[in-house]
Amino acid sequence: MGPSSTGNPWFAVSMALFGVIVGYGIGTMGSMTYPTGPAPSFVNNPTPTPTPAPGPEPVVTAENMPPIDPETDHIRGNKNAKITLVEYSDYECPFCERHHPTMQQVMDAYGDDVNWVFRHFPLSFHPNAEPGAIASECVAELGGNDAFWKFTDDVFKRTNGFNFEAYATAAGVDATKFKACVSSGKHKQTVTDQMNGGSAAGVNGTPGTIVLNNETKESQVISGAVPFSNFQSVIDGMLN
């Protein structure tokens, strides 16, 4: 067995140095400083400001609408009515089909106070719209105003799809003369002119209906297939 470590003079020196180091470390730890003051705060995202509700849509008037001409326009009801509904329509448009009974309801409700003018606005993506418009003008030429409205009512009932000749003959028009008129293309420009007039008046889709006070010339465009109540509020305002 080797000599005892406690009798070794270097062991004593090592222990003394170890004590000095440990003592210095303890003293240094005691003198360490730490940050003082309030704990850091965390700011939440600010509450977003609510977006204000949109205001009412502006009323679109029809100051540039071509004037109503009893010689060329298709007028239903009292020609001397105070209020005229000028409908720009498309015979293939499903919304116009839905809208047609509403217009009939307006006519029934207001009697001689309101009349209805039908003008063409055939949309390019409806292949039957322009042919239907041209066909209706041939019916009006050959059978008159009542035949035109009979044709129009039947087209929107869709009992024969888009068989315009069937609707023309049902309206009392000679089939041979009807086909000759359609083939001539003589009414194509009439249809184009009506569509351009509707665009100038603010119509940008179908159905587009302009409510016009014939006395004051006040007007308002009603877009789309809307409920009867929408027309009622505008018409009542113009009648009072």
Q: What is the mean pLDDT of the chain?
A: 84
Q: What is the pTM of this model?
A: 0.75
At residue 31, the pLDDT reads: 41
* Tens digits of residue pLDDT in 52-76: 454 444 556 778 899 999 999 999 9
Pick the CATH number of 74-239 from 3.40.30.10, 2.30.110.10, 2.60.40.10, 3.30.70.20: 3.40.30.10
At residue 126, the pLDDT reads: 98
At residue 35, the pLDDT reads: 44
* Tens digits of residue pLDDT in 147-174: 999 999 999 999 999 999 999 999 999 9
pLDDT means over runs of 10, the chain (240 residues): 44 44 43 44 47 50 88 96 98 98 98 98 98 98 98 97 98 98 97 96 95 96 96 96
Helices (H), the chain: 9-31, 94-110, 129-143, 145-157, 164-170, 175-184, 188-201, 228-239
Residue 192 vs residues 121, 122, 129, 187: alpha-carbon distances, Å: 8, 9, 12, 9
- Grouping H, G, I as helix, E, B as strand and the rest as coil, residue 220 is strand
